[in-house]
Structure 1
Amino acid sequence: MKFSANLGFLWADRPLPDAIRAAKAAGFDAVELHWPYETDAAEVKAALDETGLPCLGLNTRRGETNGLCALPGKEAEAWAAIDEAIVYARAIGAGAVHAMAGFAQGMAAEATFCDALRYACDAAPDLMILIEPLNRYDAPGYFLTTTGQALKLIDAVKKPNLKLMFDCYHVQIMEGDLTRRFESLRHAVGHVQFAGVPARGRPDEGEIAFDRLLPALGWDGPLGAEYKPGGDTDATLGWLDGYRAL
């Protein structure tokens, strides 16, 4: 199996180019980013070129509302954030943009989100646009919370480059039954992430046996390690070599 280091959490105490180099040294096959906008894209691209690691994707800005794309009345800001993410993604060669919905509820929010997703998909047909359900405990009030809701949005928007970010951590907390659920959604999935449940720590701790689950998913791309190391990242990587060999 292949793995991607999510540098929003892993080596977050280092400048982003150094975190990319650390991911390479640790044996990861790719990286993914949260909000890299304070780092010049040219510096990130140089580190990616130096290491040979692909960048799988990045998020739109979260602001104070955990995203903007589903907030009625914030359309101009949301679309500007989408534009910013697309420009940055293209500059570093990233393959996807995660359009963050934000704290919102109701039909108006759903319509606003769908409009933003259509805009993003049309503005970047060369990129994958991802949406990710977040659990209601970590992100109370977030618009998108379940895979069923995400699939409804994907069906409504009807764009081939709109896909689901299947985060095992969030899906386990909200819905469970990960293996069957993933299989039923495989056609809509664009990326897979994981972390230990319930603490969002290293994947070999917690209630999910990722050493059995991840091979069972049969995902061909790099799996995104998006966990909170709670200290020195290198000290938490005892799982990596064993999982890569599965």
Structure 2
Amino acid sequence: MRFSANLGFLWTELPLPDAIRAAAAAGFQAVECHWPYDVPAQEVAAALRETGLPMLGLNTRRGAAGENGLSALPGRGAEARAAVDEALAYAAATDAGAVHVMAGFAEGPEAHAAFVETLRYACDRADGRTILIEPLNHYDAPGYFLRTTTQAEAIIAEVGAANLKLMFDCYHVQLMEGDVTHRLERLLGLIGHVQVASVPDRGAPDHGELHYPHVWEVLERLGWDTPVGAEYRPVGPTEATLGWM
């Protein structure tokens, strides 16, 4: 099993290029980001070249303070498309393989239609990259539009684009739906990225109600060979939390 360091949570005390170097020194095989836009893309690209690590993906902007994405917000289509354009440009400059299009806090048919429209826009302009959507749990993100893998599966089918995939975060899935390994098996063909953290505290994946050694076995049996994203909140220095790896 190979792992990707999510630098939205790990080594956040370091500038992003230095966090990439720290991830390489710790033995990660890839990195991923949340919102890297304050750091010039050429600096990130240089650190990636130096370390040899690929950038797996990044998120579209959250929007204004208190927002968590724009893509499912009725009446905000122009802003949502601009956020997609920005993310795809940054992904191209850093050779990131995927962009997670964040839905935002919304509900109802108009939100659904707005999300589908933005996703079709993103998929049409992805230029070989994967577009990801991620269900978020209602404890950490109450009111987020996309909540379950079942809802995501239906949206992926409706959009009908081969490059639209599911971000399967085991932490969120366990909190909202459970049955993680059976869902991995059933949804394998739709999954573009897998992320992990302990449940329910979102710490390192070495404790809690999900037994990750079993998850690794299932993923290996299924033939999953892309680095799994370590998207957890370390307690103390990141280096001190890596015993699970």
TM tier, smaller: over 0.9
Amino acid of the structure 2 residue aligned with 1:220? D
1:238 aligned partner: 243
1:79 aligned partner: 81
Measured in 2, the distance between the counterparts of 1:166 and 1:76 equals 28
Give me the identity figure in percent.
66
TM-score by length of 2: 0.97
Unaligned runs of 5+ in 2: none
Measured in 2, the distance between the counterparts of 1:117 and 1:140 equals 22
Count residues with an aligned counterpart. 240
2:232 aligned partner: 227
Structure-to-structure mapping, 1:3-14, within 5 angstroms? 3-14=3-14
1:195 aligned partner: 197
* Residue 231 (structure 1) shift: 2.0
- The question of whether the paired residues in 2 share the 8 Å contact of 1:71 and 1:104 is answered with yes
Which 4+ runs in 1 deviate beyond 3 A?
A: none
1:90 aligned partner: 92
Structure-to-structure mapping, 1:125-136, within 5 angstroms? 125-136=127-138
RMSD: 0.7
Structure-to-structure mapping, 1:22-33, within 5 angstroms? 22-33=22-33
Measured in 1, the distance between the counterparts of 2:210 and 2:153 equals 24
Range moving further from structure 2, 189-198 or 213-222: 213-222
- The question of whether the paired residues in 2 share the 8 Å contact of 1:125 and 1:161 is answered with no
Pair 1:171 & 2:173 matched: yes
Measured in 2, the distance between the counterparts of 1:226 and 1:51 equals 20
Query: Could you say what secondary structure the match of 2:14 adopts?
Result: coil
Amino acid of the structure 2 residue aligned with 1:192? V
Unaligned runs of 5+ in 1: 241-246
TM-score by length of 1: 0.96
Measured in 2, the distance between the counterparts of 1:24 and 1:48 equals 9
| Cα-to-partner distance string for 1:185-238 (whole Å, 9 max, x where unaligned) | 011000000000000001002111101212212321100000000221001011
Measured in 2, the distance between the counterparts of 1:139 and 1:230 equals 21
Measured in 2, the distance between the counterparts of 1:214 and 1:74 equals 40
| Cα-to-partner distance string for 1:50-69 (whole Å, 9 max, x where unaligned) | 00000000000012310000
Measured in 2, the distance between the counterparts of 1:120 and 1:50 equals 30
Amino acid of the structure 2 residue aligned with 1:184? R
2:151 aligned partner: 149
| Cα-to-partner distance string for 1:140-169 (whole Å, 9 max, x where unaligned) | 000000000000000000001000000000
Measured in 1, the distance between the counterparts of 2:62 and 2:13 equals 20
Measured in 2, the distance between the counterparts of 1:206 and 1:49 equals 36
